[in-house]
Amino acid sequence: MRQIEAGEDIPNAVTVGVERDADGKVFAVVRWPAIRGEAAGEDRYHSVPKALEVAESVKSERGFGEIVVSLQTAELWRDEWGLLELGASEVTAEEAFDMAWDIEANRDA
């Protein structure tokens, strides 16, 4: 799964937002946009694993391309929920090229 910024809109994705309520309890909201004539939707879950399970079902049943995750704060994510990759927007193409260039230059040194 890929992490996105809170409020970021990914048109071909089911979004799982992980947040903490006023009482400090963690919950998740599964959101999906309208697709192929089917309405958009949103459901709230007290269990993040259950929300991820539902997100996978929505993705499969409605044909979305991916599941993305937005976090209210980074420490809310638990490793047992799966690998969370930083979104592609975190590193620009130019930055990626520069990093690869530096790696190759150091390898040849």
Residues of the chain with pLDDT under 70: 87-96, 98, 108-109
pLDDT at 55: 98
Q: Which residue has the tokens 């799982």?
A: 16
Backbone angles phi, psi at 31, to 5 degrees: -125, 145
pTM (2 d.p.): 0.77
DSSP-based three-state secondary structure for 30: strand
pLDDT at 41: 95
